[in-house]
C-alpha cells in the first residue's frame, strides 16, 4: 500500500529505442513513463511510474532515481524497444520496427494507492501491454483514468509495427468512462477514417471521454464535449521529435491539476515546443516555458 499522495501515475513499458534519421542512428530511452515522467518531475509534480523491463537493464532506472521519480518495476524476459526511422524532410512520418517486448501487465503489477492519484495514466507503447480486463480493473479502482490509445491499436509482429482499428464494441468499452484520451493524427485516422483532425476529434468525443488530445504536425488540439481548442507548436527545430506526444500528454495533465483546459493546452504546447528542439526528455526551467507563452501565445 502506497500511503503518500501522488499527482500522476504512469503505467507503461520503458523502451530501449534506436532513433535513425537519414541513415544516422543512436540509442535512446523511450516510453511515456520516461518522457512523460521526467517532464512531469521538472514541472514539480509527484510522479510514480509502473513498468516492466529485463533485469539486466535495471540501470536505466537510475534516471528515475536521479529525477526523484518513484517507480515499481516488474522483471521481464525482454525490454521493449523500437527502431524509429525518420527522414529529416518530414519528421512527422516515421517507420517503426520492433526490437523487443516486455509483455502484458497483470493486476499484481499494480500497487495499491491509499490516496487516489490525481491522474492515472495508461501509456502503453504497443498493444499487448494492457488488455481490456486490466483497463477495467484500473478504471474500477481509480477516477481520472487517462489513456494513450496507441496501446490498443498499434501492433507488432516479427518485422514491423502496424495499426488496426477498433470495432464499435471496443471503442465503446475503451473510450467510455475514460477521462482523457491521447492520440496522434495517424491514430485518429485509424480510429475514425477521418483525415481531418477536427472531424476525428469531434467524432471520438461522442464516445464519452471528458477530453481528447490530438498531437499533429501543426500543434496540439483539444476536444471537449462543447468546445474545441488549438495551439500551434513554436519550435525552431525537430531534433527532439521522439517523445512529443508523451511530453504533451503529461504536461497537459500536470497543468490541469490547477488550470483550466485552455491554459493547460497553451502550457503543454509551449513546453513541448521547447522539448522538440532537444533530444531526450524535457529538463529545462519552467521560466523558459512562461517566456515562450508570453512571446508566442
Burial degree of 18 (CB within 10 A; 0-12, 13-18, 19+)? middle
Q: Which residue has the higher pLDDT, 131 or 22?
A: 131
Domain assignment of residue 174, given as a range: 8-296
- pLDDT at residue 22, rounded to an integer: 85
The mean pLDDT of 205-234, rounded to a whole number, is 96
Count of residues for the chain?
297
Q: Is 1 inside a domain boundary? A: no
Residue 198 CB neighbour total at 10 angstroms: 14
Q: At 108, is the secondary structure helix, strand, or coil? A: helix
CA separation for the pair 94, 89 (Å, rounded)? 11
Q: Is 186 inside a domain boundary? A: yes
Q: Is 2 inside a domain boundary? A: no
**Model confidence over 258-289: pLDDT tens digits?**
999 999 999 999 999 999 999 999 999 999 99
The mean pLDDT of 34-52, rounded to a whole number, is 98
C-alpha cell at 163: 495499426
- Beta-sheet strands, E only, within 137-296: 145-148, 154-156, 161-163, 180-184, 211-215, 219-224, 227-232
Helix (H) or strand (E) holding 253: helix 244-256
Q: Is 143 inside a domain boundary? A: yes
Q: Is 102 inside a domain boundary? A: yes
**Model confidence over 119-148: pLDDT tens digits?**
999 999 999 999 999 999 999 999 899 999
Q: Is 3 inside a domain boundary? A: no
Domain count, the chain: 1
Residue 243 in contact with residue 281, Cβ under 8 Å? yes
pTM of the model: 0.95
We report the CATH number of the domain holding residue 99 as 3.40.1190.20
Cell 507503447 belongs to residue? 125
pLDDT reading at 170 higher than 80: yes
Q: Is 25 inside a domain boundary? A: yes
Amino acid at each position: 500500500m502506497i500511503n503518500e499522495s501522488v499527482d500522476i501515475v504512469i503505467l507503461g513499458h520503458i523502451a530501449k529505442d534506436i532513433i535513425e534519421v537519414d541513415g544516422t542512428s543512436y540509442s535512446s530511452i523511450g516510453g511515456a513513463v520516461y518522457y512523460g515522467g521526467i517532464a512531469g518531475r521538472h514541472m514539480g509534480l509527484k510522479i510514480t511510474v509502473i513498468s516492466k523491463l529485463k533485469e539486466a537493464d535495471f540501470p536505466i532506472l537510475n534516471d528515475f532515481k536521479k529525477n526523484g521519480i518513484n517507480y515499481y518495476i516488474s522483471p521481464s524476459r525482454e525490454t521493449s524497444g523500437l527502431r524509429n526511422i525518420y527522414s529529416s524532410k518530414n519528421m512527422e512520418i516515421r517507420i517503426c520496427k520492433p526490437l523487443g517486448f516486455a509483455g502484458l501487465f497483470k493486476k499484481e503489477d499494480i500497487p495499491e494507492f491509499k490516496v487516489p492519484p490525481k491522474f492515472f495514466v495508461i501509456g502503453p507503447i504497443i498493444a499487448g501491454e494492457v488488455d481490456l480486463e486490466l483497463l477495467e480493473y484500473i478504471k474500477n479502482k481509480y477516477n481520472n483514468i487517462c489513456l494513450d490509445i496507441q496501446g490498443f491499436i498499434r501492433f507488432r509482429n516479427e518485422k514491423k509495427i502496424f495499426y488496426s482499428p477498433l470495432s464499435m464494441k471496443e471503442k465503446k468499452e475503451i473510450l467510455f468512462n475514460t477521462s482523457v484520451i491521447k492520440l496522434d493524427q495517424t491514430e485518429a485516422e485509424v480510429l475514425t477514417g477521418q483525415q481531418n483532425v477536427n472531424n476525428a476529434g469531434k467524432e471520438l468525443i461522442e464516445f464519452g471521454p471528458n477530453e481528447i488530445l490530438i498531437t499533429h504536425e501543426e500543434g496540439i488540439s483539444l476536444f471537449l464535449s462543447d468546445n474545441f481548442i488549438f495551439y500551434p507548436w513554436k519550435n525552431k527545430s525537430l531534433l527532439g521529435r521522439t517523445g512529443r506526444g508523451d511530453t504533451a500528454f503529461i504536461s497537459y495533465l500536470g497543468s490541469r491539476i490547477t488550470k483550466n483546459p485552455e491554459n493547460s493546452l497553451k502550457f503543454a504546447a509551449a513546453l513541448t515546443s521547447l522539448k522538440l528542439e532537444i533530444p531526450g526528455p524535457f529538463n529545462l526551467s519552467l521560466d523558459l516555458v512562461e517566456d515562450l507563452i508570453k512571446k508566442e501565445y
